[in-house]
Amino acid sequence: MSSNIVVAIDGYSSCGKSTLAKALAKKLHFIYVDSGAMYRAVALYFIRNNVDLNNHDQVVKALEHIHLNFHSRDYQTHITLNDEEVSAEIRQMPVSDKVSAVAAIREVRQEMVRQQQRMGKSKNIVMDGRDIGTVVFPNAQVKLFMTADPKIRAERRYKELLPTNPDMTLEDVFENLAHRDYADTTREESPLTRADDAIILDNTDLTPEEQLQFALDLVKPLIV
């Protein structure tokens, strides 16, 4: 029986999941896996190759041609799509606009979940996403469900994206987050929902340091 520790962090878009997951992994020397980056990379491939999301055969064929790899440097996500570094491109609006539709496809989810479960098989990991505590690792030792005021979330993400997207407005970001949250919570396949045993962490009024302390208090007692 494996005794590795899995920390599952789920929640709405832009509510601080990856900030917390990275900081936690760094502090505890765990591996950090950004599951959203995987769905984003698949969406990028689908956009570039004009894959029709309603065409089952096209989707399945495209998935066979997608090879994703993570390279962790300083706990930042570096993801390659068929050996091309796409870490920056997957954060841009065209991908953000499409990713939730791509992530709603059953075959896409099955393949991503399979890869994610393999990564957490024998190592201590922190993984963030939408279905980590419910589907990918239902037996995770620590589950957090993060949330924050939608306006605050949009402002935080806007600040982050503005330097590379000067034409973008706060409304664009707010609408993208609202659209993705709606799509992610209402889809048929593994909708975003809180696992019964997940602890809610609302970070509307918390700094990144305060949310890290909250999580450390939960995980540290499990480390022997």
- Is 129 marked as binding a ligand? no
Q: Is 120 annotated as a binding residue?
A: no
The sign of the torsion formed by the CA atoms of 209, 215, 217, 221 equals: negative
107 binds ligand CDP (CB under 6 A): no
18 assigned binding-site residue: yes
Give least dist CB 135 to ligand CDP, A. 8
Nearest CA to 203 among 139, 143, 152? 152
Q: Per DSSP, which regions of 31-117 are E strands?
A: 31-34, 68-73, 76-81, 84-85
**Could you give the CA distance from residue 95 to residue 184 in angstroms, rounded to a whole number?**
15
Give yes or no for residue 178 binding ligand CDP (CB under 6 A).
Answer: no
Q: Which is nearer to ligand CDP, 3 or 163 (CB)?
A: 163
Task: Confirm if 56 and 47 have CB atoms less than 8 A apart.
Answer: no
Q: Is 72 annotated as a binding residue?
A: no
Using CB under 6 A as the binding rule, the residues of this chain from 25 to 44 that contact ligand CDP are 35-36, 39-40
- Residues forming contacts to ligand CDP in the complex (CB under 6 A) are 13-19, 35-36, 39-40, 99-100, 103, 129-132, 156-157, 160, 180, 184, 203, 206-208, 211
